Amino acid sequence: MVQALATMPVRLLVVEDNRDICDNIAGYLEKHSYVLDFAYDGISAMYLAVTQPFDVIVLDLMLPGMDGLSFCHKLRTEAKVETPVLMLTARDTLDDKLKGFAAGADDYLIKPFALQELHARLQALYKRSHGKTDNLLSVADLTLNKSTLQVHRAGRRVEVNPACLKLLQRLMEQAPSVVMRDELETLLWADERPDGDALRSHMYKLRQAIDRPFDRPLIHTVHRIGYRIAEDTE
């Protein structure tokens, strides 16, 4: 028996143009703590995948607008989205599977498939991508894996330099509380602090990476006191 993925809902994007298959997937997975969105062509799927945070994407290969291989390749190389992808297809040759993995897929399931197996594979992908709960910091759609030091926002990988990574980890560990400027300066430089307001420069770079590409800011300045990271501005 497959155990539940987590106490919190798992967001799943299903990209499949066969409505009957979508209905079957929805009817089964909605009983297992999933929140599902659907796209019926590759172009609509790409928009959703780069603008919404998903935990896993289920992707059919034969799609109108943009086929699954092209979608997956663009998702990885152009959009830089690393959300796990499970490909669904009737193509079962080794060459077909290798093409799917080369395009960026994480797993491959042959049609027709059992819904129980789909659920089990989704569970494995979710656990693998999120790692151990103790190592994952999360604020809104922003995550930091303390083991791999990888940062993601809305499913997209975010590149952060080592100094900013230290600041981000401290802010996320204490979110939504304010972290004092003195504490952050000590974290970076101990007792050998540079002249000027070097902390502000590092926070600017962190904001450029974490906030600027997205719709709403998470990093907030508390004037003359410090910084905090949260969904709101209170």
Pairing type for strands 34-39 and 10-15 reads parallel
Length of the chain, in residues: 234
Q: Which CATH superfamily is domain 10-130 in?
A: Response regulator (3.40.50.2300)
Q: Count the alpha carbons within 13 Å of 50 in the hemisphere toward its beta carbon.
A: 15
Instruction: List 57's β-bridge partners, or say none.
Output: 13, 85
Instruction: List 145's β-bridge partners, or say none.
Output: 136, 150
CA distance 186 to 109: 50
**Domains 10-130 and 135-229 are alike in CATH topology:** no
DSSP category for residue 81: B
Q: The pTM is what?
A: 0.59
* C-alpha torsion angle, residues 11, 16, 21, 22 (rounded to 10): 40
Instruction: List 110's β-bridge partners, or say none.
Output: 89
Judge contact between 179 and 226, C-beta under 8 A: yes
Cα–Cα nearest to 64, from 83, 84, 44: 44
Domain boundaries, the chain: 10-130, 135-229
Task: Please state which CATH number belongs to domain 135-229.
Answer: 1.10.10.10
pLDDT tens, position by position, for the chain (234 residues)? Answer: 334 444 457 899 999 999 999 999 999 998 887 899 999 999 999 999 998 889 999 999 999 999 999 999 999 999 989 899 999 988 878 888 888 889 999 999 999 999 999 998 898 888 887 654 557 888 888 888 887 888 988 878 899 999 999 999 999 999 888 999 999 999 999 878 787 789 999 999 999 999 998 888 999 999 989 999 998 744
Whole-number Cα distances in Å, 1 to 4, 28, 36, 119, 132: 10, 14, 22, 11, 22
